[in-house]
Amino acid sequence: MLLKIAWRNIWRSKTRSFVVILSIAMGVWALAFILSFSLGMTYSYIENAIRDQWSHLQVHHPKFSEDKLAKFYIPNAEEVLDSLSGIPEVQAVTPRTIISGMVSSSRGASGVEVVGVDPQMETAVTHLESEIVEGEYFSEKRKSEIILSRRTAEKLKVGLRNRVVVTFQNLDGTITSVAFRVVGLFSTGNMMFDEGRVFVKREALQEHLMSIENPAENPAQFIHEIAIFLHSTDELLPVKQRLQKSFQNLLVQDYRELSPDIELYESQIQLSNTIMITIFMLALIFGIVNTMLMAVLERYRELGMLMAIGMNKPRVFSMVVLETLFLGLVAAPLGLGLGWLTVFLLKDGGIDLSAFAKGMERFGLDTVVYPLLSPELYVQIAVAVFVTALLASLYPALKAIRLRPVEALQKV
Amino acid sequence: MPIIEAHGLTKTYNPDKVPVHALRGVDLTVEKGEFTAIIGPSGSGKTTLLNIIGGLDRPTEGFIKVDGTDLSTLSDNQLIDFRQKNIGFVFQSYNLIPVLNVAENTEFVMLLQKRPKAEREKRVAELLHAVGLDDKMDKRPSELSGGQQQRVAVARALAPKPSFILADEPTANLDSKSAFNLLDIMEQLNREEGITFIFSTHDSRVIERARRVISLVDGQIAKDERR
């Protein structure tokens, strides 16, 4: 009966109820849109970071992450690669030879990480080939080819087919300089990534890494990193655990461990979402309190009558709370539906923020954001509306039960 | 045992500022089955007395027992429960629940008492038949005339089988035909089912039908006449 009265009560003043429902729904829609926008940005940031930079998992020598020296290569890289080829969750792998060095031209120099890749295998794991904006990807003809980022090329004032010299320490610490010809320029949109790396063919780098004192070593074994791309991020943890168990002498890390900034970014986004939800709740609370207070004061006499004929305080309190919750219950699905529709309409075109592209690229974000609404976000918003309505109902409900029936009944 | 037993009831409003003495030492006893009208000019204390009898207000001094229970011993919440179980109210301006239909309004207090559905339905049918509204069960109060609404109010008051019905100027807003009709119904219920009615009124139509008339003047009983 309480439910019935509460439900019918909210439709007594249709215009007022519609206005408050519409205002809650618009608030929910705005919140859903903002949250879906930031989720879309987070998702694209992480996807870009996985695709361009980290992959899902990476395998290293345990000391390589502390000190990127040539000597910390993976001793049993072949065995690891063989084992990975038998794991169904693994979509692609690529071995890399990595050294810190300097790339220089006659007009400039830049400290970089020189990444030796297997051109074919790298394509299956990263977007390097598709991010070539000038020139071409590695050819099969020459060994000494290098791909620079456009930013690095500008810094060195070099163009396609120009020569650059890469200087690094080989295995026995001898400074080695090797000339490469620029065949392509890439741009990932992530300035930090672009300026920090150059790509060469793995075999070219491996050759020059070999110790002069101990030339008998097989250069093909100088693999410092094996990047693993999985079919789905959901499979990350079990694959990681399995690999770590199989190769206890190596360090298996996922993209979060490799890139603490992803975690930082996620926590910042979560924090800003929490702040937005709180602001939304506060704004909504005042609107709802105002409406419900009006509804209670308008029915002062009626509430007095209800208490006179025996409706006790907990029931009167519950009735006002229920009325407020019903307003939220009608408004929330409406707002969430609008939010879903907005996300649906933007799923192909996204929101083009190219006007702010430079700032966004600096942080590895796409210039087109595709808003996303996850089931967790729907639940989060629905809970926020419920809690807001509940909190907003308390004061009007308290006001209702504090009335004295004898006074309320005499109200005109 | 009398249903209502009041001794030395006084009620003073604004005792610290400009005191208004609404009741000045009222002694009153009402027996079961009485059909009593409390009359008097405006400001004589009728409504105040009725509010105190109904447990809606507390006296400044004196004590009141209803059905053997001293109302001063009950907390506000206990008073609400006591009213729900023991007292039926009929108000001057009907005060039905506008969002409920006639049947739902009638069964409302029984619902609060968690009476079984079958019992509620039977009682609602009986009462609405008794007040002549069995064909209006699905109507909302706004679709009824004043007289019809007041009959629903009587049915609602009677539904939980209270010890007595308190009616504050029940005919004040009714035309003559509706007022007589209502009085007929209440008189019949009193006569045939022994239900106790206490009215506050200055409506001569009610006073004529009452079998006991208590006249209040300046918060005191000036006359207590049994017919």
Q: Band the pLDDT of A45: cuts 50, 70, 90.
A: confident
From CA A211, how far away is CA A217, in angstroms rounded?
Answer: 8
Q: A309: which chain B residues are within 8 Å (Cβ-Cβ)?
A: 83-84, 89, 108-109, 156-157
Of B56, B98, B111, the CB nearest to A406: B56
From CA B195, how far away is CA B208, in angstroms rounded?
Answer: 19
The string of pLDDT tens digits covering residues B35-62 is 999 999 988 999 999 999 999 999 999 9
**CB atoms A409 and B77 under 8 Å:** no
The string of pLDDT tens digits covering residues A242-282 is 999 988 889 999 998 888 888 888 888 889 888 988 998 89
Kind plus residue range of the DSSP H or E element containing B6: strand B4-13
Which 3 state secondary structure label does DSSP give B24?
strand
The string of pLDDT tens digits covering residues A106-164 is 989 999 999 999 999 999 898 888 889 999 999 887 888 999 999 999 999 999 999 99
Chain B interface test: which of A306, A309, A403 (most B C-beta within 10 Å): A309
The string of pLDDT tens digits covering residues A54-101 is 899 999 999 988 888 888 889 888 888 998 888 899 999 999 999 999
Residue A8 C-alpha, separation from nearest chain B C-alpha, in angstroms: 6
Of B84, B95, B98, the CB nearest to A310: B84
Q: Does the pLDDT value for residue A190 go beyond 80?
A: no
The string of pLDDT tens digits covering residues B145-167 is 998 999 999 999 989 889 899 99
Mean pLDDT lowest among A9-18, A252-261, A348-357, B72-81: A348-357
Q: A307: which chain B residues are within 8 Å (Cβ-Cβ)?
A: 80
The pLDDT, as a whole number, for residue B100 is 94
From CA A315, how far away is CA B96, in angstroms rounded?
Answer: 17
How many other C-beta atoms can be found within 10 angstroms of the C-beta atom of residue A134?
A: 15
How many other C-beta atoms can be found within 10 angstroms of the C-beta atom of residue A72?
A: 17
Q: B77: which chain A residues are within 8 Å (Cβ-Cβ)?
A: 312-313
Which 3 state secondary structure label does DSSP give B2?
coil
Both tokens assigned to A328:
């939220």
**CB atoms B77 and A9 under 8 Å:** no
Residue B17 C-alpha, separation from nearest chain A C-alpha, in angstroms: 19
The answer to whether the beta carbons of residues B221 and B27 sit under 8 Å apart is: yes
Burial of B15 from C-beta contacts in 10 A (0-12 / 13-18 / 19+) = exposed
Question: Domain residues of chain A, as ranges?
Answer: 2-49+263-408, 62-249
Q: Which fold has domain B4-226?
A: Rossmann fold (3.40.50)
Spell out a b/e string for A359-381, using b for 16 or more CB atoms within 10 Å of the CB, else e: ebbeebbbbbbbbbbeeebbebb
Question: Domain residues of chain B, as ranges?
Answer: 4-226
What proportion of chain B, given as a percentage, has pLDDT over 70?
A: 100
The pLDDT, as a whole number, for residue B206 is 84
What is the per-residue DSSP string for A173-193?
S-EEEEEEEEEEEE--S-HHH
**Averaged pLDDT, B168-176:** 86
The pLDDT, as a whole number, for residue A373 is 84
Q: A409: which chain B residues are within 8 Å (Cβ-Cβ)?
A: 56, 91, 95
From CA B216, how far away is CA B214, in angstroms rounded?
Answer: 6
Residue A29 C-alpha, separation from nearest chain B C-alpha, in angstroms: 31
